[in-house]
Chain A
Amino acid sequence: MPGSRYSSALVQTAVGEIQSTERQRRQLPTIAQAKGPQQLPTLESAALQPAKGQSSQAPEQRGGDSQATGQDSARYDLRNIPMSNKTPLYPAHLAAGGKVVDFAGWQLPVHYGSQLEEHHQVRNDAGMFDVSHMCRLHLSGQDSGDFLRHLVANNIDKLTEPGKALYTPMLLPQGGVIDDLIIYRLDNSNYRVVVNAATREKDLAWMFKQAIAFDDVNLALLDDTAMIAVQGPQAREKTLQVLSDTDAVVAAGLDPFFGAVTSDLFIGRTGYTGEDGFEIVTPATGGIAMWDKLLAAGVKPCGLGARDTLRLEAGMCLYGHDLDETSTPLESGIAWTIGWQPQDRDFIGRSALAQQKSTGIPRRLVGLLLEGKGVLRDGQTVQTTAGDGLITSGGFSPTLNRSIALARVPWDCRPGSDCSVLIRKRPQPARVVKFPFVRNGKAV
């Protein structure tokens, strides 16, 4: 880190009237506003409620009723949609002192005291996150493989071994990203799919719409479950201690990016932090017990705040920020998720991607390292010699002790070059780099 306390640009900036006017224009939140949409839970609301029927149900889901096993409460009535859902682990968050906020319609902890400590806990030891808000599906039927070959950009035929997981975008015909998802192949007609909470309804609507063309595809929501991500260099060891003997044998045998169904759990050796660990799906009623056992094994609760800084360091895209319907995977740093082979696989978005590839990809997603002090934030303008870009995810990296970001910039802006980021209208020097920034606890 440079020893200078201020970047030179900041020192040279005139203070007084001009700066004051600038500051009035940039409309930062006041401290009071920064509190966010926090709604403190009442004691009454802390009672454990089953997840079933709590979530808003899109009308499209009714179209899938005949197919969706285990989905007997699909009804669509605005009056029945709660303001904010609670996961089965909600009481555990209150018990652990979690600062609960609304996140994509779910009451979830942003931290339990210190986001920074929770971040370091995951990089150095083991932490756990309630990720029950994410949408879990079981896909079955003779045509489910063909359905996925058409639905998503990555190719499930890369999943040659049972249990192997695939990260893939799901695209619009125009090539924009509807969502990014994880698909675990259990066997040739059974898949587990995890999609984002914020995009749940549109994802389900899209999937059901595409499924109509296939005779035997069943999509079942696994809403009666909780999902805990245990992450960190000690995560596997500590998790294996709390699993039953048979489950522990299964979990211990999982290679990275594999998952397996046990008697009552689904265990995946996956995550969103850049660390080793598991994601465990339990029946909703068993969620608290699993959480408490992990707690007793020394796994610390971590909030969504730390989850975001961990994934940003790990260079993992966040839907709605780094990925959206207006950008293709080629413009989002995830070209590697496009399964071009075999050439005759007609996945949705393929022709648009092929055309963009031949006519020229206009933008790319890059990493940024802020040279001086300050914090890069989403939406800040990036000035490069190739033209302006935009920060899609910015923040403070606790591992690197400096600010980092993902940014979408003109294609000709390459890693290794310098750029400026407008922070409160003042250009601050930054370096364009490849990402990830951190993997398995180490700066890369």
Chain B
Amino acid sequence: MSDNPEQLRYTESHEWLRQLDHGIAEVGITDHAQSLLGDIVYVELPEVGSTLTAGTEAVVVESVKAASDAYSPVSGEVIEVNESLNETPEIINQDAFGKGWIYRLKLADSSEIDALLNAAAYTLKAAEDDD
């Protein structure tokens, strides 16, 4: 498993969040998650303008193996989705924490981020899963 970047925050359900400027955050699934899912062949993206609530389904990730929900780590309005996933969903397999970002949202309440896991806590959680 590749390292979980220090600057990101994580959920126990294997999503990551990167804080950008002006109350905007970028969301994806972790490298550990893509490794569990296997080759990803389709991502059902949220619609731009839709409102997501923390802990609810935001995205469906379809791999060769199964369809899986990914949850929104925080609440907010979707302002942009990663359109390149429509043609090349495998970039999540290749670069889950970078080019494989899934959507960006305008945070409804930036204090929600405080409740998310840091890299060390998530790494521990992911390691427990492997046991």
Contacts and interface: CB of A to CB of B under 8 A. Distances in A.
A132 to B, nearest CB: 23
B129 A375 contact: no
- Nearest 8 CB-CB pairs, A to B? A5-B86, A15-B50, A375-B62, A396-B41, A23-B57, A116-B39, A31-B33, A35-B36
Interface stretch (B2-10, B65-73, B104-112): B65-73
A35 B37 CA distance: 7
Contact of A28 (B53, B60, B64, B83): B60
Given A15-B47, A31-B33, 4 more contacts: A28-B67, A30-B13, A32-B14, A403-B41
B56 A20 contact: yes
B70 A31 contact: yes
Interface string A18-41: 001001100011111111100010
A395 interface: yes
Contacts of B61: 31
Interface string B12-34: 01100000000000000100010
A202 interface: no
B37 A34 contact: yes
A363 interface: no
Contact of B29 (A31, A309, A373, A398): A31
Given A30-B13, A34-B66, A116-B64, A374 B36 contact: no
Interface of B is mostly: mixed
B13 A31 contact: yes
A111 B70 contact: no
Nearest to B34: A31
B67 A375 contact: yes
Nearest to A424: B60
A29 B13 CA distance: 11
Interface string B72-115: 00000000000100110010010000000000000000000000
Contacts of B50: 15-16
Interface in A249-288: none
A30 B69 contact: yes
A114 interface: yes
Interface of B: 13-14, 29, 33, 36-39, 41-42, 44, 46-47, 50-51, 53, 56-57, 60-71, 83, 86-87, 90, 93, 129-130
Contacts of B14: 31-32
A396 B64 contact: yes
A16 B56 CA distance: 11
Given A29-B68, A375-B62, A375-B67, A114 B39 contact: yes
A115 B68 contact: no
A30 B68 contact: yes
A305 B63 CA distance: 11
Contacts of A34: 36-37, 63, 65-66, 68
A111 B38 contact: yes
Interface in A144-161: none
Contacts of B129: 32, 35
Contacts of B86: 5-6, 373
Nearest to A28: B69
Given A23-B57, A34-B36, A373-B86, A29 B42 contact: no
Nearest to A397: B41
Nearest to B30: A31
A24 B90 CA distance: 26
A301 to B, nearest CB: 16
A375 B41 CA distance: 8
A377 interface: yes
A169 B70 CA distance: 41
Contacts of B53: 20
Contacts of B130: 40
A20 B39 contact: no
Given A15-B46, A40-B130, A375-B42, A305 B36 contact: no
A34 B51 CA distance: 26
Nearest to B130: A40
Contacts of A403: 41-42
Contacts of B62: 374-375, 396
